[in-house]
Amino acid sequence: MFEAKVQEAWRVLRIQSELVAGTDKLLKTGAAVTVFGGARFEPDTESYRQAERLGELLGSAGVPVITGGGPGIMEAANKGCFSTTAQSVGLNIDLPFEQTSNPFQDLSLEFRYFFVRKYLFVKHAVGFVIFPGGYGTLDELFEALTLVQTGKMEPFPIVLVGVDYWQGLVDWMTQRMLAQGCISPDELNLFQLVDTSDEAAQIILSHIHAESAKLVVSD
């Protein structure tokens, strides 16, 4: 029993260490866009090409890109940004399958705990862009929506790329969640659905420019 309690105490210290180290490294990155999407997309798929295009568009505008650091969509977004002067960041997680670090990271951080990594995805983000993906992608999408919905973070663009992939989910949210009063009409406006990375980049960059203008006026 005593040994188990000691192990739990050390786990708390490991969590604290990951959080402090990750926060310190990302402070130097500044405001960034976090990109989510499935790890199973190959370079010859449209989703991969669109994610690479997004990384390039954001990076060329001087906006760092943060991903989960793995293959698929994550690799594509990092790759697009890696070719620019903006920082390409990967927050890698230790998993028994799928997760291998992609080589297109200027800053590569390793995490043992999902919730520390998820906190850092949000901490420095000025926007989320979500490509098709699986459970992990949906988890990140709905966590972002919940944080904005509940006022735990300032509203920022949450953009879904791929109308064909996401429309069924949006229809279900409208026909079930909204119709049964589980969400309000305004809460369906917390995200935007687009078909291309160019549209997503335009939404994100317009938001960044608007926020920068507000800071200038307030000064």
* Phi-psi region at 69: left, alpha or beta (left = phi > 0; alpha = psi -120 to 50): left
Average pLDDT (162-176) is 98
For position 24, what pLDDT does the model report?
Answer: 87
For position 11, what pLDDT does the model report?
Answer: 79
Average pLDDT (180-207) is 97
- Condensed to tens digits (0 to 9), the pLDDT of residues 189-201 reads 999 999 999 999 9
DSSP 186: G
- Check pLDDT > 70 for residue 66: yes
Least confident residue range of 33-37, 56-60, 90-94, 140-144: 90-94
In a domain, 219, yes or no: no
> Residue 157's Cα: distance from chain center in Å?
11
Number of domains in the chain: 1
Mean of pLDDT over the chain: 91
> Residue 118's Cα: distance from chain center in Å?
9
- Condensed to tens digits (0 to 9), the pLDDT of residues 115-159 reads 889 999 998 899 999 999 999 999 999 999 999 999 998 899 999
* CATH number of the domain bearing residue 166: 3.40.50.450
In a domain, 25, yes or no: yes
Nearest to 205 by CA among 142, 156, 154: 156
For position 4, what pLDDT does the model report?
Answer: 57
In a domain, 111, yes or no: yes
- Looking up tokens 């309690």 gives 5
Average pLDDT (61-74) is 97
What residue numbers bound the domain in which 139 lies? 2-214
- Condensed to tens digits (0 to 9), the pLDDT of residues 73-127 reads 999 999 999 999 999 999 998 766 656 789 999 999 998 888 889 999 998 899 9
For position 155, what pLDDT does the model report?
Answer: 92
For position 197, what pLDDT does the model report?
Answer: 98
In a domain, 107, yes or no: yes
Q: Can you say whether the dihedral through the CA atoms of 175, 181, 183, 188 is positive or negative?
A: positive
In a domain, 45, yes or no: yes
- Check pLDDT > 80 for residue 218: no
In a domain, 90, yes or no: yes
